[in-house]
Each structure stands twice: as structure tokens, then as C-alpha cells.
Structure 1
Amino acid sequence: MASRKGFFAKLFDLSFSEFIAIQIAGVLYGIGILFIGLFALAILFGGLSQGALPAIGALIVAPLVFMLNIIFFRITLEAFIASIRTAENTSRIAGSINR
């Protein structure tokens, strides 16, 4: 059962009866991947500019940091979405009981 309110109506809903996080989760995930990738590239280029041994370390650490941060970010975002869906389903159940 989808809500009939548009994105901006939900955004300025002062009662917080509608959630927008589920609609923007994909965008947030994409932005997160971009910033995490830039951070991993900074580690990589920083290590490459320091010499042979730090370059080897950076070649190992940068992809590892990238993957671990992506996993952590994804799990965190999924936890937020799960709690929002739980709240939506709970309010739907409460609404059907009160009728």
C-alpha cells in the first residue's frame, strides 16, 4: 500500500507520519560508495608517493579498507531501513486494529 503523498509533501510533513529515507537510500548508498572510493584512492596514492614498501602496503590496505567500509556502510543503511519498515508496518497494524 503505497502512500499518495509526493516526495516534497513527505519532506515537509511536520508530523513525521511519512518516511522518506527508504526513497533516498539508494542515493545515499551511491554517495557513500563515491566518498569511500575517494578515501581508498587517497590511501593508495599516499602510499604510492612514499616509496616501494609503503606502496606495497597501500596496494594491500586500500582495497581492504574500501571493502570493509562498504560492508559497514551497507549494513548500517540496511539497519536503518529495517527499523523504518518496522515502524511503517507497526503503524499499519495499529491502524487496522483501531478500526
Structure 2
Amino acid sequence: MTEPTLPPLPERPAEEVSRDTASGAGIAGVDDTGVPRLVGDLDDIGRGFLSALFDLSFTRFITRRLASVFYLVGLVAIGIAFIATFLWGLISGIGSLWWNVGGGIALILSTLIVVPVVAFLAVVVLRFIIESGVALVAIAENTERTAANTEHD
């Protein structure tokens, strides 16, 4: 039985790094645990939203931050539309039974089948559109990062 390999130890202990950081001679971006913290776009996810929103040069993206909000609002709108259409279809179908029994039954059955299918497809399309936008922004961010890290001859 082989012994599991342990991960390599850091070059300097966390205590030494935190002491150096506290004295001003430390490494930028390292907290008192010795673990580098996120710096850059990932660090700014919760901050600077308004400045990014009103960035007229469009150098910072807000799509990833707002994707979940748009998805939630879309789901609520689809849910309200589903309930309203479903109830309207059932009430109209029941009302139609007085004048046209076959038409009323057809309207009730089509409401029971079509409205849930259309609502499901609407959720799928909403998710697809939001994921497409987020993927497009991720491609743009990765391309920008790649271009910044590529040597220019």
C-alpha cells in the first residue's frame, strides 16, 4: 500500500508572510493567512456596480452580475403569464360548455396540454438567451485577457 502524497509546502509559512505584510514589506494581495486573495475583476464582483453601469466606454461588463436577476424576473413573468393563461383557458372552456360542448371540452383539454408545454419552452428559451449573453461576455473577457498577456513584437 502506497502512502498518499502530500501537497508541497509553501515557500514561506503564513505567519511569516502576515508579519511581513503587517510591516509593509509583504506581498501585495496576501492576507494574514498567507493565501493570495482575488485581485481584479473577480475581486470587484460586489463593488463598483454603479460605476460599471455608467461606464460609457463599455470597458467593464455587468452581464454576469445581472444574469441571475434577469433570469429570476423572467421566471416570475413566465409564471404570471402561465397562471393567467391557464385560468383564462379553463374559465373560457367551462363557459363554452353551455353553447358548444365539444368546443368547450377541446378548449379545456388544449389548455391543460398546450399552456404548460409553452411555459416550459419559454423557460428553456429564456435560459438559453441568458446563457448565450453570459457566454459571449466570458469570451470577450477571456479574449481581452489573452490579448493583454500576449507579447507584442
Q: TM-score, normalised by structure 2?
A: 0.60
Structure 2: stretches of 5+ with no match in the other structure: 1-38, 95-103
1-structure distance, mates of 2:143, 2:132: 16
List per-residue Cα deviations over 1:6-45 (Å, max 9, x = no partner).
1111111111000001101000000000111111112211
Structure showing greater radius of gyration is 2
**2:76 corresponds to:** 34
1-structure distance, mates of 2:139, 2:130: 14
The alignment covers a number of residue pairs equal to 99
Q: Percent identical across equivalent pairs?
A: 34
**1:18 corresponds to:** 60
SS of 2:70's partner is helix
2-structure distance, mates of 1:29, 1:43: 21
Structure 1: stretches of 5+ with no match in the other structure: none
Q: Which amino acid aligns with 1:7?
A: F
- Normalized per residue, the structure richer in helix is 1
**1:73 corresponds to:** 126
Deviation at residue 76 of structure 1 after TM alignment:
1.0
Greater RCO (CA < 8 Å, at least 6 residues apart): 1
Is 2:59 the partner of 1:6?
A: no
